[in-house]
Amino acid sequence: MPVTNLPRAALFMVGAALLFALMSVMVKLLSHSLPNAMVVFLRSALSLLILLPAILRRGTGELRTRHLKEHIARGTAGMVGMYCFFFAISKLGLAEALLLNYSLPLFLPLVERAWLGQPTPRGIWKPLGIGLLGLVFILQPGVGLFRPAALVGVLGALFAAVAQVGVRRLTLHESVTKIVFYFSVSSTVIALGPAILSWVTPSVDAVPVVLGMVAAGTVAQLMMTRAYQLAPAAQVGPFIYGSVAFAACFDWLIFSHRPDAVGAVGTGLVIVAGVLALRGGSRSKPVPL
C-alpha cells in the first residue's frame, strides 16, 4: 500500500503550480513574436526530444500497440486543448487563462458519462453550478456576447477533460510509457502542419524563453506526478490552483495587468467549485497542458 505524505505532496504540487505559472509567462512573452501554432509546436517537439531517450531505453518492443486510434484521438483532443489554452494566454490575463484551463474538473464527470458510460457522481451538480456561475463572471457577457478569447479558454478546458478521460480509458490496457510516447509523437505530428503554414524562425532572444517554457512545463509535470504518488488526488489536487495566484502576481509585476472585481469573484467561485469537484466527484487527476 502506498505511503501518504500530504505535506511533501503539497510541496511538490505547489512547486508544480509555480512552474506552470512560469510556463504561462513564457508562452505570453513568445506570443508577442511567434504565432500560436509555432509556440504549440515548439512546446510539443522539444518535450518529445527530452522524453524520447528515456522512453527508447525501455526498448521499442514495449511501444507496440493495438490501440493506435485511441492514442490519436487522445492526442488530437489534447492538442486542441493546448491550442486553445495558449491562445487564451496570449489574449487574456495569465490568471484568467490558467483558471479557465483548471475548470476542467467540472467537465470530467460529464465527459466520463458521455464517453465511458459511467454514472454521474453524487453531489457533482452543486460544484458544477457554482463553477458555471463563476465562468459567467469571468466570461463577462455584454450586449448578448461573451469575450471570444475567454470562450476559447473554456473550450480548451473541455478538450483537456476529453483528453484526460482518454488517458483513463487507455490505462485499462496500455502502459504509461506507451501513453506518454504516443501522445508526444501524435501531438508533435499534429502541430507540425499548422506550424509550417505560419512558420516564423525564433529570434536569438526568443531561444532562452522557448527553452525555459519547455523546461518549466516538463519539470512541472514531473513534480505533479510525484505529488500524486505521495497523496490521493482529492487531497493534493486542489493545491494546483496555487498557480492562479502565482500567475496573478506575475501578470501584475511583468505585464501590469490587474483583474477587475467581477473577474475576481468569478475566480473565487471557480476555485471553490474545482476543489469541491476534486474532493467529491472526480476519480481522475487533472493534467494541465
Which residues of the chain are modeled with pLDDT < 50?
A: 1, 143-145, 282-289
| 0.85 surpassed by pTM | no
Alpha helices, H only, the chain:
6-31, 36-56, 68-91, 94-101, 104-116, 125-139, 148-170, 176-197, 206-230, 233-236, 242-255, 261-280
Please return the burial class of 8, using the count of CB atoms within 10 Å of its CB with bins 0-12, 13-18 and 19+: middle
Q: Given this model, what pLDDT does residue 263 score?
A: 66
Q: Given this model, what pLDDT does residue 277 score?
A: 66
End-to-end CA distance of the chain: 30
Domain residues of the chain, as ranges? 6-280
| C-alpha–C-alpha distance, residues 247 and 139, integer Å | 18
| C-alpha–C-alpha distance, residues 44 and 65, integer Å | 21
Q: Given this model, what pLDDT does residue 262 score?
A: 66
Residue indicated by cell numbers 467581477:
262
φ/ψ of 257, rounded to 5, equals -110, 125
| C-alpha–C-alpha distance, residues 65 and 78, integer Å | 19
Q: Given this model, what pLDDT does residue 89 score?
A: 93
Q: Given this model, what pLDDT does residue 138 score?
A: 65
Q: Given this model, what pLDDT does residue 144 score?
A: 43
Q: Given this model, what pLDDT does residue 288 score?
A: 42
Q: Given this model, what pLDDT does residue 38 score?
A: 93
| C-alpha–C-alpha distance, residues 103 and 158, integer Å | 8
Tens-digit pLDDT profile for residues 214-258: 999 888 878 877 787 777 666 676 777 778 788 888 888 888 877
Q: Tell which residue, 221, 218, 238, 230, has the closest CA to residue 282.
A: 238
Q: Which residues contact 186 (CB under 8 A, 6 or more apart)?
A: 71, 72, 74, 75, 76, 79
Q: Given this model, what pLDDT does residue 125 score?
A: 66
Q: Tell which residue, 125, 126, 128, 131, has the closest CA to residue 99.
A: 131
